[in-house]
Amino acid sequence: MCVAVRDSCAPLLLCHGLSWPDSLDCDRFPADEDMCLASLSKEYKHIHKELPKPICQTCPAVEEFFTQKRVLDVFCANNFAVKVKLSKKRTVSGDQAYNIECQVEFINQAMASGTALIYDDEMTSYKLLWDDPECDIEVPERLLSSYEQLKHYHLVERCIHVPVREGTEEEIMLVHSSEYLEVVKSTQTMNEEELQRVSENYDAVYFHPNTYRCAKLAVGATLQLVDSVMSGKVCNGMALVRPPGHHSQRNAANGFCVFNNVAIAAQYAKRRYGLQRILIVDWDVHHGQGIQYVFEEDPSVLYFSWHRYEHQRFWPLLRESDYDAVGQGKGKGFNLNVPWNKVGMGNSDYLAAFFHVLLPVAFEFVPELILVSSGYDSGIGDPEGQMNATPECFAHLTHFLIQLANGRLCAVLEGGYHLKSLSESVCMTVKTLLRDPLPPISGEMAPCLSAIESIQNVRGAHKPYWKCLMYEEATPLHDLSTKSQQMMEAELIQTSTHPTAEQAVGTTKSDEAIKTDRFLESHMKKILSPVPPVKTAAAIVSKADAHLLPVSVQVEMEMNAQELKTVVSAFDAELVKEEKALLSLQNVLAVLDKILKKKVCNGIAESSVASVSTTFALKHCFDFGLQR
Give the active site residues: 247
Decide which of ligand X5A, Zn ion, none touches 153; Cβ closer than 5 to 8 Å per partner kind: none
Cβ closest to ligand X5A, residue 212 vs residue 273: 212
Taken as a whole, the chain contains a residue count of 628
Question: DSSP of 31-98, one letter per residue?
Answer: -TTB-------GGGHHHHTTPPPBS-TTPPP--SS---HHHHHHHHHTTEEEEEEEEEEP-TT---EE
Nearest-approach distance from CB 425 to Zn ion, in angstroms:
13
Q: Do residues 421 and 376 make contact, with C-beta atoms less than 8 angstroms apart? A: yes
Binding of ligand X5A at residue 256 (CB under 6 A)?
yes
Binding mask 266-285 for ligand X5A (x = CB under 6 A): ------------------x-
Mode of pairing for the β-strands spanning 80-89 and 97-106 = antiparallel
Residue number with the shortest CB distance to ligand X5A? 415
Which residues lie across from 249 on neighbouring strands? 252
Return residues touching Zn ion (CB under 5 A): 284, 286, 375, 377, 415
Binding of ligand X5A at residue 257 (CB under 6 A)?
yes
Nearest-approach distance from CB 378 to ligand X5A, in angstroms:
10
Report the half-sphere exposure of 239 (CA within 13 A, side-chain side).
Answer: 33
Which residues lie across from 254 on neighbouring strands? 203, 257
Nearest-approach distance from CB 302 to Zn ion, in angstroms:
20
Piece of the chain touching ligand X5A by CB under 6 A; list 255-263, 335-343, 432-440, 559-567: 255-263
Nearest-approach distance from CB 202 to Zn ion, in angstroms:
16
Binding of ligand X5A at residue 315 (CB under 6 A)?
yes
Decide which of ligand X5A, Zn ion, none touches 171; Cβ closer than 5 to 8 Å per partner kind: none
Q: Do residues 138 and 124 make contact, with C-beta atoms less than 8 angstroms apart? A: no
Binding of ligand X5A at residue 503 (CB under 6 A)?
no
Q: Do residues 240 and 426 make contact, with C-beta atoms less than 8 angstroms apart? A: yes
Cβ closest to ligand X5A, residue 135 vs residue 434: 135
Binding of ligand X5A at residue 252 (CB under 6 A)?
no
Among 17, 54, 244, 383, interactor with ligand X5A by CB under 6 A: 244
Binding of ligand X5A at residue 290 (CB under 6 A)?
no
Which residues lie across from 281 on neighbouring strands? 304, 372
Nearest-approach distance from CB 508 to ligand X5A, in angstroms:
19
Nearest-approach distance from CB 525 to ligand X5A, in angstroms:
28
Among 204, 214, 223, 410, interactor with ligand X5A by CB under 6 A: 204
Cα dihedral across residues 535, 538, 544, 547: positive or negative: negative
Rounded CA separation 153/626 (Å)? 29
DSSP 3-state of 555: strand
Residue 426: which of 47, 205, 149, 37 has the closest Cα?
Answer: 149
C-alpha 22, offset from chain centre? 33
Nearest-approach distance from CB 304 to Zn ion, in angstroms:
15
Strands (E) in 223-318, as ranges, are 236-239, 278-282, 301-308
Cβ closest to ligand X5A, residue 310 vs residue 593: 310
Cβ closest to ligand X5A, residue 248 vs residue 432: 248
Which residues lie across from 534 on neighbouring strands? 600
Cβ closest to ligand X5A, residue 415 vs residue 460: 415
Mode of pairing for the β-strands spanning 335-340 and 80-89 = unpaired
**AA letter at 222:** T
Cβ closest to Zn ion, residue 284 vs residue 558: 284
Binding of ligand X5A at residue 202 (CB under 6 A)?
no
DSSP 3-state of 507: coil
Binding of ligand X5A at residue 593 (CB under 6 A)?
no
Q: Do residues 455 and 338 make contact, with C-beta atoms less than 8 angstroms apart? A: yes
Cβ closest to ligand X5A, residue 25 vs residue 132: 132
Distance set, CA 421 to CA 207, 390, 513, 519 (Å)? 26, 8, 9, 10
**AA letter at 488:** M
Binding of ligand X5A at residue 340 (CB under 6 A)?
no
Burial status of residue 586 (CB atoms within 10 A of its CB: 0-12, 13-18, 19 or more): buried
- Give the DSSP H/E element, type plus range, for residue 487: helix 483-495
Cβ closest to ligand X5A, residue 333 vs residue 415: 415
Decide which of Zn ion, ligand X5A, none touches 51; Cβ closer than 5 to 8 Å per partner kind: none
DSSP conformation class of 318: -
Decide which of ligand X5A, Zn ion, none touches 244; Cβ closer than 5 to 8 Å per partner kind: ligand X5A
Cβ closest to ligand X5A, residue 6 vs residue 308: 308
Binding of ligand X5A at residue 286 (CB under 6 A)?
yes
Q: Do residues 353 and 345 make contact, with C-beta atoms less than 8 angstroms apart? A: no
Piece of the chain touching ligand X5A by CB under 6 A; list 24-32, 180-188, 249-257, 597-605: 249-257
Binding mask 111-150 for ligand X5A (x = CB under 6 A): -----------------------x----------------
Mode of pairing for the β-strands spanning 4-6 and 80-89 = parallel
Decide which of Zn ion, ligand X5A, none touches 134; Cβ closer than 5 to 8 Å per partner kind: ligand X5A
Distance set, CA 65 to CA 50, 91, 434 (Å)? 18, 21, 39
Binding mask 464-483 for ligand X5A (x = CB under 6 A): --------------------
Q: Give me the residues that bind ligand X5A (CB under 6 A), please.
A: 134, 204, 244, 247, 255-257, 284, 286, 315, 375, 377, 384, 414-415
